[in-house]
Amino acid sequence: MPQYNPNEIEQKWQRFWEKNETFKATENPEKPPYYVLDMFPYPSGAGLHVGHPLGYIASDIVARFKRNKQFEVLHPMGYDAFGLPAEQFAIDTGNHPEGFTDKNIARYEDQMKKIGLSFDWSRKVKTSDPKFYKWTQWIFIQLFESWYNPKTNCAEHINDLIRDFEKNGNTYFTAEQWNNFSEAEQQKILMDYRLAYIGESEVNWCEALGTVLANEEVKDGVSERGGYPVEKRKMRQWFLRITAYADRLLQDLNDIDWPQAVKDMQTNWIGKSVGAEVDFRLTPGPSPMERGEMQGTFVAENTEDGRSTSDSGSPLPGRGAGGEANDPGYMTSDKTIWGTLKTNARTNRKEQTEAEQILWEALRNSKMGFKFRRQHAIDKYIADFVCLEKKLIVEVDGEIHNSQKEQDEFRTSILNQIGFDVIRFTNEEVINDLENVLIQIKERLNLANGLTPGHSPMEGGGMQGRFGAENTEDVQSTSDSGSPLSGRGAGGEAKIRIFTTRPDTIFGASFMVLAPEHELVSVITSQDQKSEVEKYVAQAKLKSERERKAETKVSGVFSGAYAINPFTRKEIPIWIADYVLGDYGTGAIMAVPGHDSRDWAFAKHFNLPIIEVVEGGNVEEASYDAKEGYLVNSDFLNGLLVDQAIKRAINEIELDGLGKMKTNYRLRDANFSRQRYWGEPFPIVYKNGLPYPVPFDALPVELPEVESYKPTGSGESPLASVDRWVNTPDGRRETNTMPGWAGSSWYYLRYMDPDNDFDFVDKDKERYWKNVDFYIGGAEHATGHLLYSRFWNKFLFDRGLVSTKEPFKKLINQGMIQGVSQKISLDKRINDQGIENYYFISSELLKDDTREIHVDVSLVDNSILDIDAFIKWRTDYKDFIFKCEGGFWQNGNFTKTGEGSDQFRTKSEVEKMSKSKYNVINPDEVIEKYGCDAFRMYEMFLGPIEQSKPWDTKGIDGVSRFLKRFWGLFYDRDGNWLVNEDKPNAEELKTLHKTIKKIEDDIERFNLNTCVSSLMIAVNDLGGYQCHKKEILEPLVILISPFAPHIAEELWEKLGNSLSVAYAPYPAYIESYTAENSFEYPVSVNGKLRAKIELPLSLSKEQVEDEIKNMDLSKWTDGNPLKKIIVVPGKIVNVVV
């Protein structure tokens, strides 16, 4: 084969590799393992464009290099096959998404194989394959059957927790109580601990489409398809308790070699802030109660989504101090407002409704077997009827309650927390069917039987309340904060709990701010401010999240209430403002305008006092936010540095019982449910409404065939309509499916052992490969996939299922390849007859105000437009004039009008590669023309992998020529074999060994662009020496093989080797060959390069100095004496005059 014919040899070797399974990895104990992985591709219908292979080529080079370095290399590829485009295709066409997906996969694979990537295709996985998702389901069951033990900081089997409950109980219940709980009660409690749990969260519901939409399907508040309105709707969802791992996910970032940008993004996403929670007491000011208002009006306002920062939000109830929960039963009312409550209660008793009167007659005098009281104050509320012994509250609601369900729910949840069961009836129920009402009350009383009254919030129906309150998307999971109404009982005073990261500045807290959705807003608001506050809160609710984000101006309203700064003892006003977020911290802050810019802006706007407590700025001019400087105006903190003051303040706060040190996270638990067909079914069956995992031998739970992929209209997934699948002898199946990231969270483990039917990965194999050594992919996965996989991996590690803490040791984000668009300009001229004439104008004649249109890049060569091809493509322009410097073209004829070129030039611009810009480069075509070795090398040659850079097809000529020159070292133009057995000379050896060193160093650092350069230099040098020596060329073939594997295999074979070059040992670098014995020193005078002098490298500094002194430098020294000579051996000489 005389001429270099890339297409021929590339096909030959690709077939060879496939047939011989050249890249099949084994768990070879003789070799060190190296795992190279590309991020899991989702096979989209569009196939690959030149941007996609960048990462694949880079990782392939690393994989091939490591094989030459005698590592056992695992380099697999597979597909993240579940996803929205396939779902949408199925909905649109009625065809099964699997066929669509498989077709796309085939296309992807075909393209990847043409690039000569050295994947071990025998390990291919596909997430939608039941053999794969069997184990995704299995891992889900492991999560379901695990809880996070905060004491060991480790996930443990839920059975360990159950055993502990059976033996020791927990803060809320005794062992005996636990053992007497019904199965349902136990399961509900355990749900608060499981790492996979059911909660409730808001989804994007589109009524018109009858379906739930993903965030990316919603644009500007309407559905992307059709533009229908989208509203938030609460749905029961599965969640994964990633928040339990928040701190470890953060800490272990230190141990992995990832781009700082990705680490920063994860750090930011987890959002840890350490500070203190501090209770601020309210001053005993006027409250709604004292104004004799009805109970309904002073029910604390519920947050919009039912979320509270209360203890009920904690998934780990056992963790907290739990103090508030153990209040003695006799203290049923809030002391601060007892006076008011008493008055109200008396009034209410006099003004009983008909229904209340009827019920009272049935309950009074222990007619039900237990003593009931009516209009009795409990906490901040007045209960219609209460049985204190059984802690059962009975409420009778009139019409008004229909409109305040949310408030009632909140009230119920608060009462549940302090241990009361609440049962509610309407007036009608009591009047029309008293008997049924009494039966229900009786049942509730019996349910509470056997429990010691008055101790646990978990007992009886209380659990339901707990559970209900917990099921919000934004569970403040890692929070173990107490109720916002804490302090009941213990202190007997109303408090507002704030979170601050700057407890040192507490003496500078001159006001407080509550989020508009804070539950105490309506409780504390004074009569005078009531209407204004209500108006503000209503406005804040109306504002969409978008508007609230866009809003920059300061807004807020005074509540009329005051609190006492626990350190200054001064009264400070409480404001309501939406710059404080309801779902972060406690939804309330102490405002320190001197040292927080937002507080400062607020204080300035509303003319509130600004107190300096840290020296270093001018708080009249701006807040001083820096954590540097000494404390002033702060009593016992005066003179301390900020760091010391923070510690001292927290210490003091804890000693005084005002609060405690506290860590907050922004991270939220991960929603794991999708209302879709095309995803992994949950291995869950509901018995009596409680979820149970299916037994192991029932796995995988396969996706059933469905009649239609269309949305059900009810918000449920299409699976819900398959009765025969949904209904099992054991109960009803979960009909949600798992999200796209389920499979991708652990796929890297499956590659280690893809066909195992008995385990998700064999333990020994997992211990051999451990984790991914080198991972490459796009930066868009920084906080999604990369965080979830770390979480799953840590979980599996905790449970002893994998052996490493982190899944991906080294990570690189590849940049994008941008397109170079070509544009031509359309100009307009009005001729004598006043008719508008449009014509195109060559770019060098360009004026500013022309209209530009994109031209397909294939019609442009070197910014010269092929006009004939253009008008063939866009026939609507066929009669247009194309004006050039020397004349114009029209209908294929050129009319010369003057001097200059007849070429029509385009304007180029770097843009994203996209169809609409006609700048997409198809790798298939490039490979067809230049060969895939040239394509691979050029992609690397463009620049550093991490950077985005434009694709310039012209540039590929450079590497194409290089490969031909390289070939030319082996064959002459007539196809004669040139390689000889001559001994290489020193120069040739130097070239070879410098290259060996350079390639090795650069690949280890992932500088693949400079590798290509150094190979070019080597080939240029050897070409210059006319070197055709086997001793030089054979090692060079190995050096080039990771980059251009096909040409390397071909020449390797021609050199007489029978085995693939893929496993040839990387040549050893021998330093002595590269040693120089002399150096041409650049000599600069006062830092400016003036002369050069060739000197032996063996000379000492002093000897070099002597040589310099003997030089004639007078031209540049102006006759001034040499002050100093600086000699850097082997580098430079600088003469100072």
Partner RNA sequence: GCGGAUGUGGUGGAAUUGGUAGACACGCCAGACUUAGGAUCUGGUGCCGAGAGGUGUGCGGGUUCGAGUCCCUCCUUCCGCACCA
In the window 856-875, what residues touch RNA (CB under 7 A)? 861-862
Give dist(CA 63, CA 117) in Å, integer: 10
Write the burial class of residue 934 (CB in 10 Å: 0-12 exposed, 13-18 middle, 19+ buried): buried
Sole window of 68-76, 567-575, 678-686, 997-1005 interacting with RNA (rule: CB under 7 A)? 997-1005
Q: Which of 319, 401, 666, 990 binds RNA (CB under 7 A)?
A: 666
Is 965 a residue that touches RNA (CB under 7 A)? Answer: yes
In DSSP notation, 1114-1131 reads: HHHHTTPPP-EEEEETTT
CB of 38 to RNA, least distance (A): 20
Q: What is the 3-state secondary structure (H, E, C) of 487-529?
A: CCCCCCCCEEEEEECCHHHHHHCCEEEECCCCCCHHHHCCCCC
d(CA 625, CA 411): 39
Our finding on whether 1 is near RNA (CB under 7 A) is no
CA distance 719 to 873: 47
Contact indicator for 201, 470 with CB cutoff of 8 Å: no
Q: How far is the CB of 663 from RNA (least distance, A)?
A: 11
Q: For RNA, which stretch binds (CB under 7 A), given 157-165, 261-269, 324-332, 564-572?
A: 261-269
- The CB-of-511 to RNA minimum distance in angstroms stands at 12
Q: Which stretch binds RNA (CB under 7 A): 163-171, 285-293, 330-338, 498-506?
A: 498-506
Instruction: Considering the complex, state which of residue 141 and residue 278 has its C-beta at the smaller distance from RNA.
Output: 278
Q: How far is the CB of 867 from RNA (least distance, A)?
A: 13
Q: Which is nearer to RNA, 791 or 797 (CB)?
A: 791
Residues 1108-1127 that bind RNA (CB under 7 A): 1115, 1124, 1126
Q: How far apart are CA 40 and CA 751, in angstroms?
A: 11
Name residues whose C-beta falls within 8 Å of residue 1131's C-beta, 6 or more positions apart in sequence.
none
Among 131, 157, 647, 964, binds RNA (CB under 7 A): 964
Binding flag, residue 907, RNA (CB under 7 A): no
Q: Which stretch binds RNA (CB under 7 A): 263-271, 368-376, 406-414, 1062-1070?
A: 263-271
Q: Tell me the closest approach of the beta carbon of residue 1128 to RNA, in angstroms.
A: 4
Q: Is 1134 in the site for RNA (CB under 7 A)?
A: yes
Give least dist CB 39 to RNA, A: 16
Helix pair angle (986-1004, 1030-1040), 10° resolution: 10
Edge-to-edge strands, sheet with 1132-1136: 1088-1096, 1078-1085, 1132-1136, 1124-1128
Return the number of other C-beta atoms located less than 10 Å from residue 253's C-beta: 18
Q: How many CA atoms lie within 13 A of 601 on its CB side?
A: 10
Rule CB under 7 A: is residue 925 a binding residue for RNA?
Answer: no
The smaller minimum CB distance to RNA, of residues 549 and 915, is found at 549
Confirm or reject binding of residue 260 to RNA (CB under 7 A).
yes
Minimal distance in Å, beta carbon 168 to RNA? 35
- Helix intervals (H) in 808-951: 867-873, 923-930, 932-941
Q: Does 627 bind RNA (CB under 7 A)?
A: no
Indicate the residue among 827 and 928 with the shorter CB distance to RNA: 928
Q: Which stretch binds RNA (CB under 7 A): 42-50, 270-278, 394-402, 1028-1036?
A: 270-278
Q: Cα torsion for 913, 916, 918, 923, to the nearest 10°?
A: 50
How far, in Å, CA of 685 to CA of 881, rounded?
A: 72
CB of 1136 to RNA, least distance (A): 5
The site that binds RNA (CB under 7 A) totals a number of residues, namely 83
Contact of 887 with 895, CB cutoff 8 Å: yes
> What is d(CA 807, CA 767) in angstroms, rounded to the nearest whole number?
13
Span 586-615, contacts to RNA by CB under 7 A? 586-587, 589, 596, 598
List residues bridging with 313 in a β-sheet. Answer: none
Q: Rank residues 44 and 948 by Cβ distance to RNA and give the closer one.
A: 948
| Residue placing its CB nearer to RNA in the complex, 100 or 941 | 941
Shortest gap between Cβ of 1109 and RNA (angstroms)?
16
User: Rule CB under 7 A: is residue 911 a binding residue for RNA?
Assistant: no
Residue 635's contacts (CB-CB under 8 Å, 6 or more residues apart) are 507, 567
Residues shown for the chain: 1137
941 binds RNA (CB under 7 A): yes
Residue pair 514/525 in contact by the 8 Å Cβ criterion:
no
According to the binding rule CB under 7 A, does residue 431 interact with RNA? Answer: no
The residue from 742, 1016, 1036, 1037 that contacts RNA (CB under 7 A) is 1016
Q: Which of 391, 502, 662, 993 binds RNA (CB under 7 A)?
A: 502
* 3-state DSSP assignment of residue 1075: coil
- Scan residues 167-206 and list those touching RNA (CB under 7 A): none
Amino acid identity of residue 1131, one-letter, is K
Closest distance to RNA from the beta carbon of 913 (Å): 14
Are the CB atoms for 642 and 504 separated by under 8 Å?
A: yes
Angle formed by the axes of helices 6-20 and 932-941, nearest 10°: 90
Stretch that binds RNA, among 311-319, 689-697, 886-894, 1010-1018 (CB under 7 A): 1010-1018
Instruction: Please give the Cα distance from 567 to 636 (Å, whole number).
Output: 10
Assess 954 for contact with RNA (CB under 7 A). Answer: yes
> Structure tokens of 813?
């984000």
Q: Is 289 or 1016 the residue whose CB approaches RNA more closely?
A: 1016
Range 546-585, binding RNA (CB under 7 A): 548-549, 551, 578-582, 584-585
d(CA 1108, CA 1129): 13
Handedness of CA 757, 758, 759, 761 (dihedral sign): negative
Given the rule CB under 7 A, which of 247-255, 1033-1041, 1066-1074, 1088-1096 is the region that contacts RNA?
1088-1096
| Nearer to RNA (CB atom), residue 303 or residue 737 | 303
Q: Which of 253, 386, 418, 515 binds RNA (CB under 7 A)?
A: 515
State the nearest-atom distance from the C-beta of 950 to RNA, in Å. Answer: 6
Q: Is 508 in the site for RNA (CB under 7 A)?
A: no
Nearer CB in complex with RNA: 222/1132: 1132
Options 17-25, 499-507, 733-741, 767-775: segment touching RNA (CB under 7 A): 499-507
Residues 343-382 binding RNA (CB under 7 A) are none
DSSP-derived pairing of the beta strands 893-896 and 907-911 = unpaired
Q: In what order do the strands lie in the sheet with 33-38?
A: 72-74, 33-38, 772-777, 808-813
Q: Which of 343, 539, 895, 1020 binds RNA (CB under 7 A)?
A: 1020
Q: Which two three-digit tokens encode residue 180?
A: 């007497």
CA nearest neighbour of 1085 among 1053, 1049, 1105, 1114: 1114
Question: In the complex, what is the shortest distance from the CB of residue 1011 to RNA, in angstroms, rounded to a whole number?
Answer: 10
Query: Which residues contact residue 1100 at a Cβ distance below 8 angstroms, ignoring those fewer than 6 apart?
Result: none
Q: Which span sits near RNA by CB under 7 A: 141-149, 260-268, 289-297, 456-464?
A: 260-268
Q: Which is nearer to RNA, 683 or 931 (CB)?
A: 931
Give the residue, chosen from 275, 566, 679, 923, that forms a contact with RNA under the rule CB under 7 A: 275
Determine the interface stretch with RNA among 483-491, 683-691, 697-705, 954-962 (rule: CB under 7 A): 954-962
Closest by CA to 567, choosing from 651, 610, 508, is 508
CB of 207 to RNA, least distance (A): 27
Q: Which CB sits closer to RNA, 379 or 519? A: 519
CB nearer RNA, residue 311 or residue 798: 311
Pairing mode, strands 218-219 and 222-223? antiparallel
Which residue from 47, 130, 169, 271 is in contact with RNA, where contact means CB under 7 A? 271
